[in-house]
Copies of this chain bind each other. A is one copy, B any other.
């Protein structure tokens, strides 16, 4: 399973972009994949092919309203791991309480 963080926005719509982001979130919701809306991007977990399809759908929408679209994405794939949207944060919090690297 892959965890992806992505952001997408138009370059020709000025400074207020929340209504465009909202449309993207609707597309993410329709995908049925677990996701987490953040202040700088949305995190989604799934098979890479499904994540790529989601990016295409979001991009298709954004192209329909804008002449220049910018999109960033990063992907983290760990063999045998799942439920990582919550799991990765829990691992860090656990390490915060217990580790001693000094």
Contact = CB atoms under 8 A, between A and B. Distances in A.
Nearest to A72: B74
Contacts of A7: 74
A93 B39 CA distance: 11
Interface residues of A, number: 61
Nearest to A78: B68
A15 to B, nearest CB: 4
Nearest to A85: B39
A3 B40 contact: yes
Interface in A53-102: 55-56, 59, 63, 65, 67-80, 84-89, 91-96, 99, 101
Interface string A1-24: 001110101011111011101110
